[in-house]
A and B are shown apart, each in its own frame.
Chain A
Amino acid sequence: MRQYEILPHTADGKFRAYGRTLEEAFANAALAMASLMWDWRTIKPEIAHDIRASGRDREQLLVNFLGEIIYLLDTQRFLLAGVDRPRILEEGGVWSLEAVVSGDSLSDRYEIYGGVKAVTYNDLKIEDGDRVTVQVVVDM
């Protein structure tokens, strides 16, 4: 199964990510977003961060989860290489996610070719079925 695909969008970044579970689709969405900025396959998994996100629905959870990756880039110069052990829970109308993200600090050995400014709700979709599909537009 493909992890994700990048879709055409006039000004910004748009992608669709897939997974057998919601967790897997979210993790692949993080890789899709990273692929708009750097080649995550080339990033050495030297550092790990525990991350948490929450939301009032799955869409907000996804926006906030991807927002964590941008936050780590801006504040820790962290380049994502992978998402491990993602767990998503819904309790009393609040969705939450925990995961460990691995990657490395920004340095001259990596080429960073794009910057994602923010994750938007524009055209955001989460579709269930045989597999879970999420679609996201990010502001670049």
Chain B
Amino acid sequence: MPNRSATVAAEHQPFRFSPAQSVGLVFVQTLFGAAAQILMKTGTTTVEGGGIMAFAVALVTNLHLLGGYALYGLSTVLLTLALRDGELSRLYPIISLTFVWVTVLSSMFFREAITPHKLIAVSVIVAGVAVLGGASKKS
């Protein structure tokens, strides 16, 4: 089979995302990451007792928690793929959008108030992560 070596070489050529695809990937990843947090919080409400062992058991029996961890894992894989191909300084600001989504979703699902303190805190943290990402460009 003369074509075999060519086929193997093609399989070893790793797939790469374009810069725009990396940005899109990270954006989707932030939504998954935020949804994971909401599932995890929902899951904890049905955990009886507050001991660490109770949570460890719930980790493998509670559907909301399992779903939350699965989504978290998925978002981590997407982030890793995006970070492999994209530029860190561009992606960091998008990563920190998770903080914004969690604040909005917490207000929607758990009726947590969006206070001025939270707004300022989340803005400063998002900006701080962006600055941190920008720093990686020069070093």
- Do A and B assemble together? no
